[in-house]
A and B are shown apart, each in its own frame.
Chain A
Amino acid sequence: MSGVPRTVKVVRTWTSRKKTPMTYAIQAEGLVKRFGETVALNGVSLTARAGTVLGVLGPNGAGKTTAVRILATLLRPDEGRATVDGHDVVREAHQVRQLIGLTGQYASVDEMLTGTENLVMIGRLLGLPRSEAKARAAELLERFELWDARDRPAKTYSGGMRRRLDLVASLVGRPSVLFLDEPTTGLDPHARGGLWDTVRGLVDDGVTVLLTTQYLEEADQLADEIAVIDRGQVIANGTPDELKTQVGGQVLQVRPVDDRDRETVAGLVSVVVGDGMQVEGDLVTAPVTDPAVLPTIVRRLDDAGVQVAELSLRKSTLDEVFLALTGHRAEPTDTTPELVTEGSRA
């Protein structure tokens, strides 16, 4: 494939709904949202099939939180429309709210209340009788390993516990669609892994999850489909494998045994592969679209008498995909919440 397509796969259009009614738990079409001069969303379309995870991937300020706030009925789009389980998020907001759970940096529990009190409050707000609300709170606290901390104010929780409580708070109402807005930002790897397991468990139970993240690995790990958002637009979507295959394809890696052969290897690879060869330390990498280059490389290396410690063909990482799509890396440069630039906060 030559050059980089701006849109990898055309998003399914609204008309396809007629052929496959109710297959999509989340369907958004042409969402536009402006905050004054800032265009936070510039025609975003997303779909998530029921019972799957849609990963919305993008850097700070890309529009992820705005999209989630619209889908979770907190914000009205200026243009476009969206449905959750077939209910319009603007006209049938009340119905949508009965179906969804929302967790994120901006949908949080009350720090002053204990874990139990937070969950009982939500249970009561959802119409459960007091005893049932208490039972549900106890069940969830136990299952998510917050039982020992149940009577402590949430402000005393560690980061990982706090995120678990945030997540649990959105599960009280047994949602069929769950929005997780950067659920692991700021968590250590262990807590992050725990949250991933929880999300997988929920999906096994039939919950549809829309997850926004800045972490490519997270989208790769969890998502069935990924939509890449940059500057308020979806610039690519597909399964993680599709994205990796369609952009950049595969990556050839060659590491000579003897460091002095590096120049030889680099020259040789660049002749066979063409553009894009890079040298990082003693590792020579190059993007390839035709797997047939591998035997060619092996022959050339043999002819040149170079011994290699490593010779492999691997799929591109999502970071490479993002770089190819946007011209900049996706990893966060800082941890400033994205709402600073895109949200409705004064």
Chain B
Amino acid sequence: MTASTVTAPRTLTRRVSPTATLRHTATLAWRSLVQIKHNPMELIDLSIQPIMFVLLFTYVFGGQMAGGHPVQYLQFALPGIIAQNAMFATMNTGFLLNTDLTKGVFDRLRSLPIGRMSPLAGRIVADTVKQAWSMAILIAVGMIIGFRVKTDVVHLGLAFLLLLVFALAFSWIAVLIGVLVSEPDKVMIFGFTTVFPLSFTSSAFARVDTMPGWLQAWVKVNPVTHLADATRGLINGGAVASPVLWSLAWAAAIAVVFAPPAVRALRRRV
């Protein structure tokens, strides 16, 4: 054996410094993003599904929804599609977290002298980058087939920021599920059975005043309605103050309710 494994006497640190925790988080975020290089399917998942939604909604439903003018419907629905997609994409966090837990990657990371929350934080940072990528793709594809940003770049940026903040809060639900379930696919099943009904019973794809009264009662409190309205207002123009505040309030409420049990469950599991 060479001398490379000979254990030298060393000085041990007592705790992880905050800057070290940030560095660990950045390294682990890098790790999640580098994965895409070796698994291009993930990029396709992140891109193809949103593109499909845009095309389907525009050309299949759009004509009937807007009296023969698909692009007019696209202008209405794209902010909703972006909001729905942001919520779906959070499930990735839970899926990949569960994969790390079940495959033992988390155990390896936690046996290293690194910040205790760095593995989770790195995961979330990387997933936020992927979120931004999905949003950019959706806007780009929309614009190719006729969507126009009616406000300006600043408002578009604010819309993205609001969506990222909401997604970050919503991903605590995905983290909790990701820690609790026994296999990654169960996170996706949870995602489909909650995000689908939640996003369709909102103002994301249809005008609320066309719905029956009992449904309107729910739709008006549904957080996705506020998020879709806020996004629409910021991109298409119109009132934004109330839906933005409601979206932020919902984001805060979701984070407050789900983050503590998610962190506790993760601590208990690993």
Contacts and interface: CB of A to CB of B under 8 A. Distances in A.
Interface stretch (A120-128, A240-248, A267-275, A305-313): A120-128
B270 A121 contact: no
Give the contact-size bracket for chain B. Answer: 35 or more
B182 interface: yes
B32 to A, nearest CB: 9
Interface residues of A, number: 51
Given A73-B111, A108-B103, 6 more contacts: A95-B14, A100-B111, A102-B107, A121-B30, A121-B31, A174-B8
A346 B8 contact: no
Interface in B183-218: none
Contacts of A110: 31, 35, 105
B108 A127 contact: no
B104 A74 contact: no
Contacts of A113: 31, 34-35, 38
Given A206-B6, A345-B182, A346-B182, A112 B39 contact: yes
Nearest to A69: B107
B144 interface: no
Given A97-B111, A97-B113, A109 B7 contact: no
B139 to A, nearest CB: 28
Contacts of B103: 108, 111
A109 B14 CA distance: 26
Contacts, number: 116
A62 interface: no
Contact of A112 (B6, B13, B35, B269): B35
Interface in A59-101: 69, 72-74, 87, 94-95, 97-101
Contacts of B10: 98
B7 A205 contact: yes
Contacts of B20: 127
A107 interface: yes
B114 interface: yes
Contacts of B269: 344-346
- Which 5 interchain pairs have the tightest Cβ spacing? A108-B104, A97-B113, A176-B7, A112-B35, A102-B111
A175 B28 CA distance: 21
A73 B110 CA distance: 8
Contact of B111 (A74, A117, A346): A74
Interface string B81-123: 0000000000000000000001111011111111000000000
A153 B269 CA distance: 27
